[in-house]
Structure 1
Amino acid sequence: MESSLKIGSAQLGPISLAESRYDVVKRLLALLYKAHSFGVKFIVFPELALTTFFPRYWMTNQVDVDRYFETKMPNEVTQPLFDAAKKLGIGFYLGFAELSEEDNRIRRFNTSILVGPDGKIIGKYRKIHLPGHSEKRDDVPFQHLEKRYFEVGNLGFGTWPVFGTRVGMAICNDRRWPETYRVMALRGARVVVLGFNTPTENINHDEPLHLRMFHHRLVMQAAAYQNGMWIVATAKAGYEDGFHLHGGSCIISPTGEIVSQSTTEDDEVIVYDCNLKLGDYILNSVFNFKKHRRIEHYGPITSQTGVDDLIDVSSKL
């Protein structure tokens, strides 16, 4: 295992409905070259990095929905990004809406890919924890229709050996669920990367921005420490045609500390030289999984989804 890896988080400012994928890729390329000037070897782009956050819009014509999806990766529009990454020897994470034909039907996923420094796709992840709703709501200022436009991911939480370590991927709402990180940690991940598009306004209840940002960081800082891993989270931020996404791109060390974070809601690169051995002392002591985990008592984690499924254990007390 390598001792260090310089990672960049490449935050994107807003993408309007009128902005073409070609224009977006030009922005991604500019961020890639900027990261290269900083000595970055691995760069993390946001969730749904090629388009506006379209799940905020109610659409009934499937053709209108599918224009936001990619049927091939790389494709004509994104190939320059792959070519530049290969030329510079930089790997990257990229989120996009994926349309594929599987099991004799069309399927749609919120997807991310892991690309190596040779410009080739190493791994793919499909978002598992889809937030929002599937039917139109007239009581909210915008929609959050990920449950309508995407299927639940079917690839599980994979990890891949690359960049001298083992990397796992997640997307947006996945970051809030502790199981996300623990499964990947048990599969050897020492770095987890993710992109997100998070609305500033919570349509289900009032929640001030400072609390949204606190929770955004809290879940990842706790997970980084509890799993002895680096976490790199990259936002798409700012006002997209009047709808605000909060920023908060950051790089978090295995100690749970934020070591680098964005300062704007625009296109921005933040960088940190990550010591890949930093989490060793954590995984060899307080979170030594083999020594301390008690899986015989963790059954409810996989046998029930909510409190409504609670099994009566009072007779055992």
Structure 2
Amino acid sequence: MRIAVSQFSPGDDPGANAAVLVAQVARAAADGASLLLAPEGSIVSFLTDPQAPRRVAQPLDGSFVTALARASKEHRITVAAGTFVPDPGSDRVHNTLVVLQDGVVAAAYRKIHLYDAFSFVESDTVAPGADAPPVVEVDGVRVGFATCYDLRFPELFRVLSAGGAQVIALASAWVKGPLKEEHWLTLLRARAIENTCYVVAADQAGKAGIGRSVAFDPFGLQLLDLGSADIATGSVTVDLERLAEVRKILPSALHRRFRIDPIPS
């Protein structure tokens, strides 16, 4: 199974951002990919304008998701992309990773861990989700999904792998800063190794995002790096025989002695 990775820097116009992704969906499908993974918050540029999510938030049947759903159906490919959805209980929004299959919403993950770190306060405009991230079957492969700051919480990735994920796909808008690229690459490789699964990450680039959309195999071997390009796509092949081989050599999942339980909110 092939996974295509989208790296780009969204602008202020959700329609224009959707058009970029629709074009990438078409190319990914033509190249034989079963899944296109796009960055967190692909609907709008929000790293330099934290209020943007409030201005452009749409329900899941809004124009942004609808455009991607049509592309998913037309090209027979699963699409995962970040958007912002209004929170009916407040003036905040939900940072939502939507997974589209055959033109319909297969999953919608509301980001649990909000990025209140490195002087950024995501919780000012975003309400946290309450449900565990999903695992979705894509062309016979079980793919778990997570969003950006989730990467710093290994227990979430362990929940996904324990739930059967063979691949974990991370949609991100990883902000530039001292040691941020080092953290990004180190944590992604660690999540792949400790869970013996493929890890694929799509990141925003441009003025504020680091880019560096990458993929690692279950042994931590790097398979992809899109560098700092403002817009780029790449793809990786998920080899289930390789996955089984690594898990036979390193059966660490069978050696666990601790259970992961959610902390009450």
Q: TM-score, normalised by structure 1?
A: 0.76
Structure 1 counterpart of 2:95: 110
Structure 2: how far apart are the matches of 1:30 and 1:146? 30
Alignment map for 1:77-96 (pairs within 5 Å): 77-96=64-83
SS state of the match for residue 263, structure 1?
Answer: coil
Task: Note closer, same or farther for the CA distance 1:76–1:151 as it changes in structure 2 (3 Å cut).
Answer: closer
Identity of aligned residues (%): 24
Task: Note closer, same or farther for the CA distance 1:75–1:215 as it changes in structure 2 (3 Å cut).
Answer: same
Structure 1: how far apart are the matches of 2:180 and 2:160? 25
The offset of 1:9, in angstroms, is 0.4
Structure 2 counterpart of 1:234: 202
Structure 2 counterpart of 1:51: 44
Structure 2 counterpart of 1:39: 32
Structure 2 counterpart of 1:315: none
The offset of 1:275, in angstroms, is 0.5
Q: 1:66-109: per-residue Cα shift (whole Å, max 9, x none)?
A: 21312x223234423211221111111111111143xx667631
The offset of 1:47, in angstroms, is 0.1
1:11 maps to 2:7: yes
SS state of the match for residue 280, structure 1?
Answer: helix
Equivalent residue pairs, number: 265
The offset of 1:114, in angstroms, is 1.4
Structure 2: how far apart are the matches of 1:65 and 1:219? 27
Structure 2 counterpart of 1:204: none
Q: TM-score, normalised by structure 2?
A: 0.90
Structure 1: how far apart are the matches of 2:25 and 2:230? 15
Alignment map for 1:1-317 (pairs within 5 Å): 5-12=1-8, 14-16=9-11, 19-53=12-46, 56-57=48-49, 66-70=54-58, 72-101=59-88, 108-116=93-101, 118-132=102-116, 144-201=120-177, 207=178, 211-239=179-207, 244-290=208-254, 292-295=255-258
Instruction: Name the aligned partner's letter for residue 148 of structure 1.
Output: D
Task: Note closer, same or farther for the CA distance 1:146–1:164 as it changes in structure 2 (3 Å cut).
Answer: same
Deviates most, 149-158 or 247-256: 149-158
Task: Note closer, same or farther for the CA distance 1:199–1:105 as it changes in structure 2 (3 Å cut).
Answer: closer
Structure 2: how far apart are the matches of 1:164 and 1:33? 21
8 A contact 1:282–1:288 mirrored in 2: no
Task: Note closer, same or farther for the CA distance 1:286–1:273 as it changes in structure 2 (3 Å cut).
Answer: closer
RMSD across aligned positions (CA): 2.5
Instruction: Name the aligned partner's letter for residue 113 of structure 1.
Output: V
Q: Flag structure 1 segments of 5+ consecutive residues without an equivalent.
A: 134-139, 202-206, 306-317
| Structure of greater Rg | 1
8 A contact 1:225–1:282 mirrored in 2: no
The offset of 1:111, in angstroms, is 1.0
